Amino acid sequence: MLKRPKALFNKGTCKLVMWFQFEEYGSYNTVQCVVALADQEAGPLHVCRENTANPSSVNSSLVGLSIDVIRV
């Protein structure tokens, strides 16, 4: 089950960066945090990082989203 997807367009690489939580249905002990890249919104997605989450450490629903724009 894919949960809490978030996506941004990276102007520097012209790629869509998406991160989400993946888990087997009904088993929070198998939670994976996944980062994937795509050239288009419709995909395909290419997984570039996957980590096992520690369900007791951080509530992933509290992770926010921000963009830092620096103009020179």
Task: Return the pLDDT at 72.
Answer: 47
34-61 confidence digits (pLDDT tens): 889 999 988 898 998 887 766 555 555 5
Helices (H), 1-72: none
**Cβ atoms of 31 and 18 closer than 8 Å:** no
Of all residues in the chain, the percent with pLDDT exceeding 90 is: 14
> Kind of pairing, strands 46-52 and 15-22?
unpaired
Average pLDDT, the chain: 76
- Summarize the confidence of residues 13-39 as an average pLDDT: 83
Task: Return the pLDDT at 38.
Answer: 94
